[in-house]
Structure formats: C-alpha cells, structure tokens
C-alpha cells in the first residue's frame, strides 16, 4: 500500500509555503522519519499524508485495499487519551470502527497491553499513569487495529532517553507486517532507527543517505 506524494505544496494564504514541491514515495512496510528543526514543516507533512490538511498544490495518492476503521492512526507528542477511562478502554477505543463486539475489543486490547508490559495497569484510569505509560497507551491504541499507516508526531518529545527507546522499540516491534510507520521528529536517535530519513528545511525535502 504505497503512498505517493507528487509535487505537493502547502501554505497558508497569509504566510509563506510550509511545504514546497515535495515528491516522496513511501513503500509498504517502510519506516520513515521526517527530521528537521521546529517549524520546518515536519508536522505539516504528516498532516498532509494523514489527510488532516489538503495540499494547495500537487497530489497525494494511497493505493491498496481499504482497511476498516481509522487509517491512518496517530500518535502525538502529548498523549491523547480519555483521561477518565480505564487503560484497556482507551486501547479498545482504537477498534471502535471495527464493528467487533465489546468483549473482543477488550480482549485484543488486553493482549496488546500485556505485550507492552501494561497489563497490570489495564483497569486503572488513564489519568493515574505517568507520561511514558500514557504514550505507550496511545501507541497501543494506534496499533491495536492493525492499521496500514501509523503517523507519529514527535512521540518521544516529552520522554526521557530510556523511555524513548522503549516507546520506539514498541512501535517498531508491535506494528503489523507491511504497515507503514512515519515519524516527524527532531530526535536523531529515533530517526536513526527508521529505514529512511527525510530532512525538511524551509519546506523543502531532502533524502538523507
């Protein structure tokens, strides 16, 4: 299920282009990192790929079978969770669009939580967890539906080094075979774990060999 970006540009009328003439092909099963300083356009690129923004010029295409449920799934720098719900309910929410019964959704969520070492806190309310645990919960929610595309916007931005490794390991290990994982990060260590790195400077992209 490759993703094709052909001469994609984006900018606000009131400002300069944030992304200029970007042409990228992202292959099935690939991990890719957009790297660059703050404000360089990494997040905008992710939002364009994820469909949260429309390009002002160029074309973005995705081909392949339609996956039921939310696709892409997202992981953000600040974990987005239902703070008052249990951890397992938060993860099972990733399957809301699947049409699966509640018990099955909870079971799948529990399996993933056990795999991520969060099984012991599954029934605790999300607001009682640490930042690193919350990020792993949001990762579990993003992965539980076996999406073909996962977009992670600075997922380790607020984590210490050891938790960063744990989070990245989790994302790389637990994702389904064939799914695409795209990071926006300024963390060289995170980027270094990916198959490909693309630098963004002033809206222009450059493949890093």
Partner 1 sequence: MRSEDRDRRRPNQGDRVTYWRPRVIIREITLSLAANTWRAWALFAVAVGLILAVSSTEQIQVERALAAEHAQALAGKYTYRIGAVPTDATGETPGLHAGRCVALGSRDHVLAAAGFTLTDPVTLARAPGQQAELAVGVGPVAALWSGEKERRGAPSASLLVPVDMADAIGLAAGQGLVVDGRAYPTTDTFRPGPRIPEAAAWLIATGPPSGAVTQCWVEFPAAAADAGAAALRAWFDRNGGQVTVSAVFVADDLTIDPTVAYETRATREGWLVVGLVLGGILAIVGWFKRPEIALYRTLGSGPIQTAAIFSAQGTVLYSGAWLVSVLLLGLRALVASPRPPIDALVLGARAGLLTALVGMVAQVIAFVALSSGATVRQIKDRA
DSSP 8-state code for residue 147: -
Complex with partner 1: residue 51 or 64, whichever CB lies closer:
51
Minimum distance from CB of 147 to partner 1 (Å)? 10
Minimum distance from CB of 79 to partner 1 (Å)? 10
Please provide the distance, in angstroms rounded to a whole number, between the alpha carbons at the two ends of the chain. 23
Complex with partner 1: residue 73 or 156, whichever CB lies closer:
73
Q: Residue with structure tokens 């645990």? A: 133
Minimum distance from CB of 78 to partner 1 (Å)? 6
Whole-number Cα distances in Å, 5 to 48, 59, 60, 113, 169: 9, 6, 5, 34, 27
Minimum distance from CB of 142 to partner 1 (Å)? 9
Whole-number Cα distances in Å, 88 to 83, 84, 111, 159: 12, 12, 10, 22
Helices 102-115 and 131-144 meet at what angle, rounded to 10?
Answer: 130
Q: Which residues bind partner 1 (CB under 8 A)?
A: 10, 12-14, 47, 50-54, 56, 68-71, 73-74, 76, 78, 80-85, 89, 93-94, 96-97, 99, 102, 125
Complex with partner 1: residue 25 or 102, whichever CB lies closer:
102
Within 28-160, residue ranges assigned H as helices are 42-50, 87-92, 102-115, 131-144
Complex with partner 1: residue 55 or 193, whichever CB lies closer:
55
Minimum distance from CB of 207 to partner 1 (Å)? 26
Complex with partner 1: residue 97 or 176, whichever CB lies closer:
97
Cα 162 from Cα 65, distance rounded (Å): 37
């Amino acid at each position: 299920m490759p993703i094709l970006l052909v001469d994609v540009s984006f900018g606000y009328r009131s400002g300069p282009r944030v992304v200029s003439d970007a042409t990228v092909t992202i292959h099935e099963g690939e991990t890719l990192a957009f790297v660059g300083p703050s404000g360089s356009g990494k997040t905008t690129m992710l939002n364009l790929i994820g469909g949260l923004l429309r390009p002002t010029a160029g074309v973005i295409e995705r081909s392949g079978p339609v996956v039921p449920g939310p696709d892409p799934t997202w992981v953000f720098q600040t974990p987005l969770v239902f703070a008052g719900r249990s951890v397992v309910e938060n993860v099972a929410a990733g399957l809301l669009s699947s049409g699966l019964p509640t018990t099955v959704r909870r079971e799948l969520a529990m399996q993933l939580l056990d795999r991520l070492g969060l099984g012991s806190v599954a029934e605790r309310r999300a607001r009682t967890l640490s930042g690193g645990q919350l990020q792993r919960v949001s990762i579990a929610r993003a992965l539980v539906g076996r999406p073909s595309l996962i977009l992670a916007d600075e997922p380790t931005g607020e984590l210490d080094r050891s938790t960063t490794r744990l989070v990245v390991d989790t994302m790389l290990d637990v994702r389904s075979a064939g799914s695409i994982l795209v990071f926006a990060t300024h963390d060289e260590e995170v980027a270094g774990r990916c198959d490909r790195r693309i630098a963004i400077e002033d809206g222009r992209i450059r493949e890093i060999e």
